[in-house]
């Protein structure tokens, strides 16, 4: 018996991260809350807009140093960090699919000690841990790439300043929106569990494995979203 999401949603165009959340939750809510291009003007208040305007209007400053770090070295460092985060998502014990024929739930962190019913609490904690790791790593790399750009040329230094202002302007809203991901995943978890109960599926493995794959997909897509500014700065650093 194949268990599927009991509430299929209409297709939604947009980044993979948005489309995945739309499929797992409510498409219209995801469209309203998670597509930044549609609401960018609401994300930047007037003080941030003034700061951005000053950076854009200021004459280009001379680079801090005569040469910049190697773009190749920066790209390799970013790739290593990204691969480490991707591996952390793929190897999270709470998201591991039990091997066929293994009936015991002793090593499964999604089961409580007193009950065989799956528990979302360890999944939520793992989600938060991975999100914090992604945020910290992407932020650190973004700062390092801005420093490298500042040493490249006057125009590159201006781009670095613009990125710094944009990060400060968008970070609070981004944090709030991405912070809602565990709650959205929990709602999906509960829907799958309810559907399994209604279908009288006694073993939780089918729907729980389905959820684990969905959660891994969402976190992997979030990793892509968090690294978009990093990728953009890398592209600028590679530009002659």
Q: pLDDT tens, 189-223?
A: 999 999 888 887 666 678 999 999 999 999 999 99
Q: Does the pLDDT value for residue 7 go beyond 50?
A: no
Whether residue 104 is contained in a domain is answered as no
* Domain extent at residue 165: 16-93+120-238
Strand partners, 118: 111
Averaged pLDDT for residues 13-34: 65
Q: At what angle do helices 181-198 and 121-150 cross, to 10 degrees?
A: 150
Mean pLDDT of all residues in 73-81: 95
Cβ atoms of 46 and 231 closer than 8 Å: no
CA–CA separation, 157 and 181 (whole Å): 34
Whole-model pTM? 0.78
The residue with greater pLDDT, 50 or 210, is: 210
pLDDT of the residue at 206: 85
In a domain, 115, yes or no: no
150, 63 in Cβ contact below 8 A?
Answer: yes
DSSP state of 6: S
Let me know: does 145 contact 234? Beta carbons within 8 Å: yes
128 or 26, which is more confident: 128
27 within a domain of the structure (yes/no): yes
Counting the structural domains of the chain, the total is 1
**Would residue 113 count as lying in a domain?**
no
Q: What is the dihedral of CA 99, 100, 104, 108, to 10 degrees?
A: 30
**Residue with the larger pLDDT of the pair 99 and 162:** 162
Q: How confident is the model at residue 107 (pLDDT cuts 50, 70, 90)?
A: low
178 pLDDT more than 60: yes
Q: Which of 23-27, 30-34, 79-83, 201-205 has the highest mean pLDDT?
A: 79-83
- Whether 181 has a pLDDT exceeding 50, the answer reads yes
pLDDT of residue 134: 98
Within a 10 A sphere around the Cβ of 49, how many other Cβ atoms? 13
Give me the mean pLDDT over the 70-77 stretch: 90
Q: Decide if 212 is inside a domain.
A: yes
**Across the chain, what does the average pLDDT equal?**
79
CA 107 to CA 109: how far, in whole Å?
Answer: 6
d(C-alpha 10, C-alpha 127), whole Å? 26
């Amino acid at each position: 018996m194949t268990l599927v999401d009991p509430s299929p949603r209409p297709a939604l165009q947009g980044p993979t991260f948005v489309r995945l959340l739309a499929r797992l939750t409510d498409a219209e809510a995801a469209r309203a809350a998670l597509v930044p291009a549609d609401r960018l003007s609401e994300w930047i208040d007037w003080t941030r807009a003034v700061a951005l305007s000053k950076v854009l209007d200021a004459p280009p400053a001379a680079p801090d140093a005569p040469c910049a770090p190697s773009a190749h070295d920066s790209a390799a460092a970013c790739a290593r960090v990204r691969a480490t985060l991707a591996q952390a998502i793929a190897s999270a014990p709470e998201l591991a699919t039990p091997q066929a024929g293994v009936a015991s739930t002793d090593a499964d962190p999604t089961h409580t000690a007193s009950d065989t019913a799956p528990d979302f609490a360890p999944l939520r904690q793992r989600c938060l841990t991975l999100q914090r790791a992604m945020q910290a790593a992407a932020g650190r790399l973004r700062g390092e790439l801005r420093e490298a750009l500042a040493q490249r040329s006057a125009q590159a230094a201006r781009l670095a300043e613009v990125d710094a202002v944009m990060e400060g302007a968008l970070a609070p809203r981004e944090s709030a929106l991405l912070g809602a991901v565990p709650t959205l995943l929990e709602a999906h978890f509960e829907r799958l569990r309810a559907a399994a109960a209604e279908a009288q599926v006694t073993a939780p493995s089918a729907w729980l494995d389905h959820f684990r794959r969905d959660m891994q997909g969402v976190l992997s897509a979030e990793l892509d979203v968090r690294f978009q500014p990093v990728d953009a700065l890398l592209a600028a650093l590679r530009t002659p």
